Amino acid sequence: MNGSLIGQLLVSGVCSAFVLLLTSLGLVIIMGYMKVVNLAHTEMLMAGAFICYYLYSVLHIPFVITLILAYGISFLFGMLIEKTVICHFYGKMAETLLATYAISIIMKQLALIVFGKSYNQVAYPVSSVIYLGPVYIEAYKLILCLISALALAGTLIFINKTSMGRKIRSTTQNRTMTDCLGIDTRKVDTITFSHGMGLAGLAGAAIAPLSTVTYSLGESWLTNTFMNVVMGGVSSLFGTVASSFIIQEAISLISGYSNSVTAQIVVLLVVIVIVRIKPEGLFTPKGRR
């Protein structure tokens, strides 16, 4: 055991935690506020990565604008999906599971047909490495942390400080009452779902440089994002933040001192125990149930 390895693993863990937070934010919003289990979430990450590849690597649009466009395109796509499919399944969690699973298969196969079979690389927008003593951080990882924090802050402000956010919260609390007050809850649903999908697209675009962009990119995120949301509690953004850190720091440290398979097993066991003790997740909003 030595200090520099612990330091390195902790720092890597923090970066990975922000990445996990970014990639699960859209999922937790759709699950928490709409009670829709969005299995198409990770395929939206894949689509976001492809948007990034085509806009940034092929058309050379600046990275920041690429991210904003990725959010915008995914938002519109989310709107289309909500208006055509999801809106028929509110209140039926099992059915949303099937419907979004079907959408995810369609998205993946379409990506295979449309984008073809090859590994596509997105270059790191910044490629420098920062050294803090013996500990290194890739500059792009810091930028990812920033994007993640901004996405979280933006979402919190949107939900808590805007009038649309207030409508979203009231719809979640009591749909009938909100309807009676003359608020178009259908529109609220569309906006919430589209925002969740938009965040997934943004996350996908942001993580594209970390690996290569392929139609199968979504698969590798499925377990971690869902585990994160289940552990954090579906109706709590703070819970997702906390569980992102717990999961990634644990994986990083255990994998650093043992191996990554053990790390995955241990973390999965911890999640099972937590869900057994607190079925609602780590953090649940106080109040009437």
Partner 1 sequence: MKKFKRTIAMLMVTAMIAFCFTGCGSKGGSSSDTIKIGLAFSLTGGTAITEEAMYNSAVLAIEEINAAGGINGKQIEYVVKDYATDPDTAVKVIKELILQDEVTAIVGLYTSASRVAVEPILEEYEVPLVYPTFYEGEEPNDYVVYTGCVPNQQGDYFVPYLFENVSENFYLLGTDTTYAQGINRQATELINSLGGNIVGDELVSSDITEFSDIIAKIKDTCGDEGCVIYANLNGDSGTAFYTQFAAAGLSDKYTIASFIMDESFSTALGSAAADTYASVNYFNSIDSEANKAFLTAYGEKFGEDKASSVTAVGEATYDAVYLLAGSLEKCGDDITTDNILANFDDLSFDAPQGTITVDPENNHIYCKARIGLVQEDGSIATIFESDDVIKPEPTK
Letter string b/e over residues 180-193, b meaning 16 or more CB atoms within 10 A of that residue's CB: eeebebeebbbbbb
Among 59, 94, 114, 117, binds partner 1 (CB under 8 A): 117
If the CB atoms of residues 117 and 276 are measured against partner 1, the closer one turns out to be: 117
Letter string b/e over residues 13-50, b meaning 16 or more CB atoms within 10 A of that residue's CB: bbbbbbbbbbbbbbbbbbbbbbebbbbbbbbbbbbbbb
If the CB atoms of residues 63 and 75 are measured against partner 1, the closer one turns out to be: 63
Q: Write phi, then psi, for 130 (nearest 5 degrees).
A: -100, 130
Report the candidate in 128, 124, 122, 141 with the shortest Cα–Cα distance to residue 59.
122
Among 80, 98, 106, 112, binds partner 1 (CB under 8 A): 112
If the CB atoms of residues 16 and 190 are measured against partner 1, the closer one turns out to be: 16
- Residue corresponding to tokens 């400080």: 161
If the CB atoms of residues 79 and 253 are measured against partner 1, the closer one turns out to be: 253
* 107: contact with partner 1 by CB under 8 A: no
Report the candidate in 174, 199, 205, 200 with the shortest Cα–Cα distance to residue 188.
174
Site string for partner 1, 130-169 (x = CB under 8 A): ------x-x-xx----------------------------
* 84: contact with partner 1 by CB under 8 A: no
Binding site for partner 1 (CB under 8 A): 2, 4-5, 8-9, 12-13, 15-16, 19, 109, 112, 117-121, 124, 127, 129, 136, 138, 140-141, 209-212, 214-217, 219-223, 251-252, 255-256, 259-261, 263-264
